[in-house]
A and B are shown apart, each in its own frame.
Chain A
Amino acid sequence: MTGNGEGTLTRKDFASDREVRWCPGCGDYAILATVQGLLPDLGARPESTVFVSGIGCSSRFPYYMDTYGIHSIHGRAPAIATGLAITRPDLDVWVVTGDGDALSIGGNHLVHALRRNVDITILMFNNEIYGLTKGQYSPTSPLGIVKKSTPMGSIDRPVNPVALALGAEATFVARSIDTDRQHLTEVLTAAHRHRGASFVEIYQNCNVFNDGAFAALKDRDTKAHNQIRLTAGQPITFGPDGEHAVVARGDGSMKIVPRTDAGERVVVHDPHKREPTTAFALARLAHNPTGPTPIGVFRDVEAPVYDELLREQLDAARERQGPGELRALLEGGNVWDVIG
């Protein structure tokens, strides 16, 4: 695919002239490269693309894109992106955020952007740590983690970002991994195609403060055992030889059983199911990526899009009342004349 036919853009057309300043080895580089490489294939135009971010390492992302962008304040990127998306339907609005930015200080805005179904694409880089403030535990850090602010271990129960997004009834929810370029490209392509709010959790390695948090999913010898790849229409099985399968329990939750025991009970993945219940049960399979963890698109359903509904109301009002006449507005209600 070569864009929109107006000449072929390449990843260079989306890279700004700014020096990228993440720590050497940071997972953010891989995500940046993937996004820059992906946008030409999506038919994106640099001038019609906007990246909005909050605060944190990931939130420096807009500076490295040769698109429009706002590096804003901590946690508020979804709100800023909402105002932009509402007023400018012609733009492609992306939010780049981290686990601290999106789930701690910005949890409120994330939930509301998702439940409103504003047409934005949210990329949440999850490294389970606060990198910019040098290594405190984050809302996704596992219970008991020992970090600078938790010398005796964290007693915060971590949030499951995919489950949270599904709880907000987000219409598109997915998870991918920074270094798995092909998978990330597929997921982001689907997220971009989706009308309404898309939420993509990207496991991202912070090699300085939380190195190897996702090793179980990424290491050559363990990843086949631990990546549960979700493919629409396919039974959910995994393992080097497909020896594990996901089946539903009687109470609606899910569990992993040997493929040989599963028989016909293997769950067939359907991200287009209206009810988010199955997707939620899948999300609950892994609360931290130290064991088998689903990656891929959990949910992808069509639903009314907030900004489209708003514009429909504006159009309907114009149709009903005609275009606004200022004089008529001012004269509304009871008026009287004073003659000189």
Chain B
Amino acid sequence: MTETAARHRVQLSNAVIRFAGDSGDGMQLTGDRFTTQSALAGNDLATLPDFPAEIRAPAGTLAGVSSFQLHFSDKDIHTPGDRPDVLVAMNPAALLKHLEALKPGGTLIVNADAFEKRNLAKAGYDTNPLEDGSVTDYQVHEVALTDLTLRALQGQVEAGELNKKEAERCKNMFALGLVSWMFHRPLDDTETWLTTKFAKRPELARANVAALHAGRNYGETTEAFTFTYEVKAAKLTPGRYRNITGNQALAYGLVAASVRSGLPLFYGSYPITPASDILHELSRQKHFGVSTFQAEDEIAAIGSVIGAAFGGALAVTASSGPGIALKSEAMGLALATELPLVVVDVQRGGPSTGLPTKTEQSDLLQVLYGRNGEAPMPVVAATSPADCFDAAIEACRIALTYRTPVVLLSDGYLANSAEPWRLPEVDDLPDLRVEFTTEPNGEDGTFLPYLRDPDTLARPWAVPGTPGLQHRIGGLEKEDVTGHISYEADNHQRMTDLRAAKVAKVADALPPTPVEDPDGAARVLVVGWGSTDGPLRAACHELRGRGRAVARIHLRHLAPLPRDLDELLRRYDRVVCAENNSGQLAMLLRARTLVDVQPYTRVTGQPFSSAELMEAITTLGFGTGQAATTATTDNGEVGR
């Protein structure tokens, strides 16, 4: 890309961009493309897609605003950024909804064409914010995005290749071209992508590429932009990288577990936001022998998985909170029959249908306790989009080793957001091979389906088709060892204890909990789990930079909890537990350790920002509201 000499090329360590528009404006796609361009440029990055649950809310209204935020950096980063440096607002509703987040002095690019009376009224503006002084604190670029796009595509429209509406729709590519120019991003990859995407309608591919170029050329030729910015490649751990979302990584983790266990993957599920993309991804992996079954409902989905597990498959189902509620009776059956299967819960805001497209961590107690009877089940939580890969393998490992259903917690934020992922070496992945039982294990040549392995307390996995090992399992209480139905009092106590002991055994094999405490001087401990890992890591890092000695642990295993947890929590004067629910883990930690854990909680459907966490940790951990003495930050994660 050429550089106009008159302009200043500013080196930045990082930047946060937010694209916001109507849900028909293609903001998710625009954000995705900019993400890929940034990833290919070698930046570390994190994204935060945010879109309405309605497929198509009324155009131009607040309800219809869709946004995509991207944080990219020349350093290792952990969050999609708290506040954007650049906001692209495609209409008044998008501006109204997102202006508040924009950093003071930040760059605001608006589609000036959309700021006419009707749209202003739809958004609820009495006056035009571009004219009434609302945006004077920002570097505002009013760009006639619609008109410029139409003009760029005039030839194609006149030639009858496109209609006006189709041409207008390319305005998101114009915006992408402009922002790409601002940040010195090459466009080749997006061009290739557009050509492939519109292979069947090459005229649309041409139009989108033309709009993309027009946006870039506009930036270059207009004199409105004084600065361009550059964020250099991050110094990441050497290796091969790709950009990946949580749902995609989770699906790949399941395929990897199938390959490493030698068991065919059977995935039964019922579509639900935000878990459906796992089904979509796995349904494309049939050449791995992956069977996907779109069941008639959530109960059938887990039912099919129980059948597949009985038959010897690596059996997985996934859903979100409402679907997990429906699956709970069958989860109890899987637990009583002691079959290995994985139940993925991609959490969203609740209760009931709640906030389908937003994120929350409020299913923790549901998956731990939301079943009838004493029904313990291991629970594993993924911490970042890329970590969904490892977490999926870990959930499969536990299920296969201990012959138990396992819950894998992800959430809406992890599911849809993306980050660079350093590809693992396939040979380094855990060996998950299992051996089916093929011989009788009773003294008289009988088969005892509930005779346990003393190390894991797992029962034998004898699959149908094995001669001589015929047996019947079911939800009625089992007699210890024989597996026959038993209503005997002492036996029920023993079986209840055995099932609990088996789950507890998972903790035996876990390594010590890693504690992040670089100086070893901390008196305050921050505890988190799941997707809050990034913002908590960033907040603690920043606090340390400002002289606050703070230690941090982040739990992968929520059940059983690590053995060293009690000792760890007691080691500190103050323990703060931050989570996107109303204090579920905090309550568990208090109950288990009797430590006075201080909860910090919020359920707005949005992930934590590192700035608010700094504030909370300072207040709850250090007993003062002064999070920071200066506002300088080295990685810009704190917009104060």
- Determine if B423 and A330 form an interchain contact, defined as CB atoms under 8 angstroms apart: yes
A-side contacts of B473, CB under 8 Å:
69-71
- Determine if A322 and B268 form an interchain contact, defined as CB atoms under 8 angstroms apart: no
B-side contacts of A62, CB under 8 Å:
472, 474
B-side contacts of A339, CB under 8 Å:
238
Among candidates B239, B255, B291, B306, residue contacting A337 with C-beta atoms closer than 8 Å: B239
In the bound assembly, the distance between CA atoms of A112 and B301 in angstroms comes to 12
In the bound assembly, the distance between CA atoms of A314 and B241 in angstroms comes to 29
The answer to the question of A213 belonging to the interface, with a C-beta cut-off of 8 Å to chain B, is: no
- Determine if A337 and B240 form an interchain contact, defined as CB atoms under 8 angstroms apart: yes
User: Which of A79-87, A130-138, A280-288 touches B?
Assistant: A79-87
> Separation in Å of the B326 CB from the closest CB of chain A?
11
The answer to the question of B27 belonging to the interface, with a C-beta cut-off of 8 Å to chain A, is: no
B332-365 Cβ-contact flags toward A at 8 Å (1 or 0): 1100010000000000000000000000000000
B-side contacts of A48, CB under 8 Å:
464-465
Interface size, chain A (Cβ < 8 Å): 62
The answer to the question of B130 belonging to the interface, with a C-beta cut-off of 8 Å to chain A, is: no
User: Which of B35-43, B160-168, B626-634 touches A?
Assistant: B35-43
The answer to the question of A241 belonging to the interface, with a C-beta cut-off of 8 Å to chain B, is: no
Known: A326-B259, A340-B238. A47 touches B464 (CB 8 A): yes
Known: A324-B255, A324-B288. A91 touches B464 (CB 8 A): yes
User: Which of B105-113, B292-300, B505-513 touches A?
Assistant: B292-300
Known: A70-B472, A83-B315, A86-B304. A336 touches B464 (CB 8 A): no
- Determine if B311 and A87 form an interchain contact, defined as CB atoms under 8 angstroms apart: yes
Complex: chain B residue closest to A90, CB-CB: B465
- Determine if B470 and A66 form an interchain contact, defined as CB atoms under 8 angstroms apart: yes
- Determine if A47 and B304 form an interchain contact, defined as CB atoms under 8 angstroms apart: no
Complex: chain B residue closest to A79, CB-CB: B303
In the bound assembly, the distance between CA atoms of A332 and B284 in angstroms comes to 12
> Separation in Å of the B110 CB from the closest CB of chain A?
31
The answer to the question of A310 belonging to the interface, with a C-beta cut-off of 8 Å to chain B, is: yes
- Determine if B286 and A83 form an interchain contact, defined as CB atoms under 8 angstroms apart: no
In the bound assembly, the distance between CA atoms of A336 and B241 in angstroms comes to 5
The answer to the question of A228 belonging to the interface, with a C-beta cut-off of 8 Å to chain B, is: no
User: Interface centre among B189, B239, B307, B424, by most A CB within 10 Å?
Assistant: B307
The answer to the question of B243 belonging to the interface, with a C-beta cut-off of 8 Å to chain A, is: yes
Interface size, chain B (Cβ < 8 Å): 73
B-side contacts of A194, CB under 8 Å:
none
**Segment 68-108 of A: residues with Cβ below 8 Å from B:** 68-73, 76, 79-88, 90-91, 108
- Determine if B40 and A82 form an interchain contact, defined as CB atoms under 8 angstroms apart: no
A-side contacts of B465, CB under 8 Å:
47-48, 88, 90-91
User: Interface centre among A72, A73, A87, by most B CB within 10 Å?
Assistant: A87
The answer to the question of B186 belonging to the interface, with a C-beta cut-off of 8 Å to chain A, is: no
Among candidates B189, B285, B466, B471, residue contacting A329 with C-beta atoms closer than 8 Å: B285
Among candidates A71, A79, A84, A111, residue contacting B476 with C-beta atoms closer than 8 Å: A71
In the bound assembly, the distance between CA atoms of A71 and B290 in angstroms comes to 27
A-side contacts of B40, CB under 8 Å:
334, 336
Complex: chain B residue closest to A320, CB-CB: B287
> Separation in Å of the A167 CB from the closest CB of chain B?
15
Known: A79-B304, A108-B296. A322 touches B287 (CB 8 A): yes
Complex: chain A residue closest to B485, CB-CB: A63
- Determine if A73 and B293 form an interchain contact, defined as CB atoms under 8 angstroms apart: no
- Determine if A91 and B311 form an interchain contact, defined as CB atoms under 8 angstroms apart: yes
- Determine if B239 and A324 form an interchain contact, defined as CB atoms under 8 angstroms apart: no
**Segment 48-70 of A: residues with Cβ below 8 Å from B:** 48-50, 52, 62-63, 65-70
The answer to the question of B104 belonging to the interface, with a C-beta cut-off of 8 Å to chain A, is: no
A-side contacts of B252, CB under 8 Å:
329-330
Among candidates B237, B241, B297, B313, residue contacting A108 with C-beta atoms closer than 8 Å: B297
Complex: chain B residue closest to A314, CB-CB: B286
The answer to the question of A182 belonging to the interface, with a C-beta cut-off of 8 Å to chain B, is: no
Known: A86-B304, A329-B285. A335 touches B423 (CB 8 A): yes
> Separation in Å of the B142 CB from the closest CB of chain A?
34
Complex: chain A residue closest to B474, CB-CB: A71
> Separation in Å of the A305 CB from the closest CB of chain B?
14
**Segment 102-139 of A: residues with Cβ below 8 Å from B:** 108-109, 111-112
The answer to the question of B539 belonging to the interface, with a C-beta cut-off of 8 Å to chain A, is: no
The answer to the question of A321 belonging to the interface, with a C-beta cut-off of 8 Å to chain B, is: yes
In the bound assembly, the distance between CA atoms of A305 and B484 in angstroms comes to 35
**Segment 438-475 of B: residues with Cβ below 8 Å from A:** 463-475
The answer to the question of A255 belonging to the interface, with a C-beta cut-off of 8 Å to chain B, is: no
- Determine if A336 and B240 form an interchain contact, defined as CB atoms under 8 angstroms apart: yes
B-side contacts of A152, CB under 8 Å:
none
The answer to the question of B174 belonging to the interface, with a C-beta cut-off of 8 Å to chain A, is: no
In the bound assembly, the distance between CA atoms of A152 and B113 in angstroms comes to 70
The answer to the question of B323 belonging to the interface, with a C-beta cut-off of 8 Å to chain A, is: no
**Segment 253-274 of B: residues with Cβ below 8 Å from A:** 255-256, 259, 264, 266, 268
Among candidates B42, B310, B315, B463, residue contacting A336 with C-beta atoms closer than 8 Å: B42
- Determine if A83 and B293 form an interchain contact, defined as CB atoms under 8 angstroms apart: yes
Complex: chain B residue closest to A51, CB-CB: B472
A-side contacts of B468, CB under 8 Å:
47
- Determine if B255 and A326 form an interchain contact, defined as CB atoms under 8 angstroms apart: yes
Complex: chain A residue closest to B236, CB-CB: A338
- Determine if A338 and B311 form an interchain contact, defined as CB atoms under 8 angstroms apart: no
- Determine if B264 and A87 form an interchain contact, defined as CB atoms under 8 angstroms apart: yes
Among candidates A109, A310, A336, residue contacting B303 with C-beta atoms closer than 8 Å: A109
The answer to the question of A317 belonging to the interface, with a C-beta cut-off of 8 Å to chain B, is: yes
> Separation in Å of the A71 CB from the closest CB of chain B?
3
The answer to the question of A16 belonging to the interface, with a C-beta cut-off of 8 Å to chain B, is: yes
The answer to the question of B535 belonging to the interface, with a C-beta cut-off of 8 Å to chain A, is: no
Known: A335-B242, A338-B42. A83 touches B474 (CB 8 A): no
- Determine if B289 and A84 form an interchain contact, defined as CB atoms under 8 angstroms apart: no
The answer to the question of A46 belonging to the interface, with a C-beta cut-off of 8 Å to chain B, is: yes
- Determine if A335 and B240 form an interchain contact, defined as CB atoms under 8 angstroms apart: yes
The answer to the question of A327 belonging to the interface, with a C-beta cut-off of 8 Å to chain B, is: yes
B-side contacts of A52, CB under 8 Å:
307
In the bound assembly, the distance between CA atoms of A332 and B285 in angstroms comes to 12
B-side contacts of A82, CB under 8 Å:
293, 300, 303-304, 307
User: Interface centre among B303, B311, B424, B485, by most A CB within 10 Å?
Assistant: B303
A-side contacts of B295, CB under 8 Å:
79, 112
The answer to the question of B377 belonging to the interface, with a C-beta cut-off of 8 Å to chain A, is: no
> Separation in Å of the B155 CB from the closest CB of chain A?
31
B-side contacts of A46, CB under 8 Å:
470
> Separation in Å of the B315 CB from the closest CB of chain A?
7
The answer to the question of B312 belonging to the interface, with a C-beta cut-off of 8 Å to chain A, is: yes
B-side contacts of A49, CB under 8 Å:
464
- Determine if B291 and A76 form an interchain contact, defined as CB atoms under 8 angstroms apart: no
> Separation in Å of the A66 CB from the closest CB of chain B?
5
- Determine if A83 and B285 form an interchain contact, defined as CB atoms under 8 angstroms apart: no
- Determine if A47 and B466 form an interchain contact, defined as CB atoms under 8 angstroms apart: yes
In the bound assembly, the distance between CA atoms of A112 and B268 in angstroms comes to 14
- Determine if A69 and B472 form an interchain contact, defined as CB atoms under 8 angstroms apart: yes
In the bound assembly, the distance between CA atoms of A313 and B268 in angstroms comes to 16
- Determine if A108 and B300 form an interchain contact, defined as CB atoms under 8 angstroms apart: yes
The answer to the question of B330 belonging to the interface, with a C-beta cut-off of 8 Å to chain A, is: yes
The answer to the question of B596 belonging to the interface, with a C-beta cut-off of 8 Å to chain A, is: no
- Determine if A321 and B287 form an interchain contact, defined as CB atoms under 8 angstroms apart: yes
Among candidates A72, A316, A329, A338, residue contacting B288 with C-beta atoms closer than 8 Å: A329
The answer to the question of B521 belonging to the interface, with a C-beta cut-off of 8 Å to chain A, is: no
- Determine if B307 and A317 form an interchain contact, defined as CB atoms under 8 angstroms apart: no
The answer to the question of B179 belonging to the interface, with a C-beta cut-off of 8 Å to chain A, is: no
- Determine if A86 and B287 form an interchain contact, defined as CB atoms under 8 angstroms apart: no
Known contacts A81-B307, A324-B285; 8 further A-B pairs (Cβ under 8 A): A16-B472, A48-B464, A80-B303, A83-B266, A314-B286, A316-B286, A324-B290, A338-B42
Q: Which 6 pairs from chain A and chain B are nearest by CB?
A: A71-B474, A83-B307, A79-B303, A324-B288, A83-B304, A340-B238
User: Would you mind naming 12 contact pairs between A and B with Cβ atoms under 8 Å apart?
Assistant: A68-B470, A68-B471, A70-B337, A71-B474, A71-B476, A82-B293, A82-B300, A84-B310, A317-B286, A320-B287, A322-B287, A334-B189
Residues of A at the B interface (CB closer than 8 Å) are 16, 18, 45-50, 52, 62-63, 65-73, 76, 79-88, 90-91, 108-109, 111-112, 310, 313-314, 316-318, 320-324, 326-327, 329-340
